[in-house]
Each structure stands twice: as structure tokens, then as C-alpha cells.
Amino acid sequence: MANADETIFLWINGLVGRAAPIDETVRFLSSDYLAPVSLGLVLVGMWFTGEGQLERQRRQIGLYIALAAMGLSSLTVLIINSFYFRPRPFDGIENHEVALLFYRPTDSSFPSNSAAAAFGIAAGVWGVNRPLGTALLVVSGLFALSRVYAGVHYPSDVVAGALIGCAVAFLVFRVRSLLGPIPEWTLKAARILCLA
């Protein structure tokens, strides 16, 4: 009897092949391009937008936090993967055919690095702009779910990745106060160089 994680995975992945338009949409959603590029474009937009100097500076500091959360989330996943390796569903589930809509990654399935990075960015943005951050959390959630549907992650992989991303973003917000004026100084330097 498969554990609950495998059972949920097999149910979600078992939907592949029932509707070709959904499969193609998920193939596009789960790619290494759509969600990451969309999140990146939102960050670029945050850097250059904002009504008034204070709001713009707030968004720019939010961008620093989001990028730091993304990087530290990926580092956390790397550290976990150095101690624990979980095979991907297409390698780890015996006696079941996994429908794969994605290439065959060779790194550990748990936790999902893509989910950790996406949720790190989304939670970082949420900390400075609730509506935009909420939209990015939805995008990150769809991205994570699509990776399960596409056959490259178990549900617990993406849930753990999402929790890591959100927790790291929260910690980065807490640590920011310890950094004092360093983010403001870098913003002033960027303004002098006409980069902000």
C-alpha cells in the first residue's frame, strides 16, 4: 500500500492524458520559464515603480528581501539535499506508470527547490505589497501544483518547499532590522548611478 504522499501524487498525475489542452497548459506552467520569468519581471517592475520616494524605496527594499529569501531558500534546500536524497516520483514509485510532462531532473525531489525559490520571492513581495504578493503566492502555488501534475514532485516536496520559502522570507524580514541602514545606503548609491 502506497503512503498518502504517493497516493495523492498518483491521483493528481493520473489526470494526465484526459484533456490535451490541460496537459499542454500544465507543461507550459511547470516549465523553468513561465513562473520564474514572470516573478522576475514583477521584481523588475517593483524596482522602477512606486508613487513617491518613500513608496518606491519601500518596494526596492522589498525586492532585496525577495531576492535574499529566494537565494537563502535555495541554499536551505541545498543543505537539506546534502543530507537527504529522495528519488523523483518517476524513479521512486514501483509498479506504477508515472506520466511525465517534463524532462527528468536528477536532483533530489524533496524539498522542491523551484517551490522554495518561488515562494521565497512571493512571500518577500507580500511583506511590502499585500495585493501583489498575494497574486505571486497564487502564481507560485499553481507553479508548485503543476510540478506535481507533470510528474516531477510529490505533493510533500512542493509543500515543504513552499514552507521553506515563506519561513526564510519571514526570517529575512526579521534580520533586515539588524542590518540597519545598509539597504538604504545601497539604494542611495544606485540612485547616484541612475540605477534606481
Instruction: Over range 31-54, report the average pLDDT.
Output: 88
Give CATH for domain 4-192. 1.20.144.10
The per-residue pLDDT for 1 is: 36
Q: What's the rounded mean pLDDT across residues 159-168?
A: 97
Question: pLDDT class for 185, splitting at 50, 70, 90?
Answer: low
What is the arithmetic mean of pLDDT over 93-110? Answer: 84
HEC sequence for the chain: CCCHHHHHHHHHHCCCCCCHHHHHHHHHHCCCCHHHHHHHHHHHHHHHCCCHHHHHHHHHHHHHHHHHHHHHHHHHHHHHHHHCCCCCHHHHCCCCCCCCCCCCCCCCCCCCHHHHHHHHHHHHHHCCCHHHHHHHHHHHHHHHHHHHHCCCCCHHHHHHHHHHHHHHHHHHHHHHHHHCCHHHHHHHHHHHCCCC
The pLDDT of residue 58 is: 83
Confidence band for 93, pLDDT divided at 50, 70 and 90: confident
- Which one has a higher pLDDT value, 41 or 64? 41
Record the pTM.
0.88
Residue ranges covered by each domain of the chain: 4-192
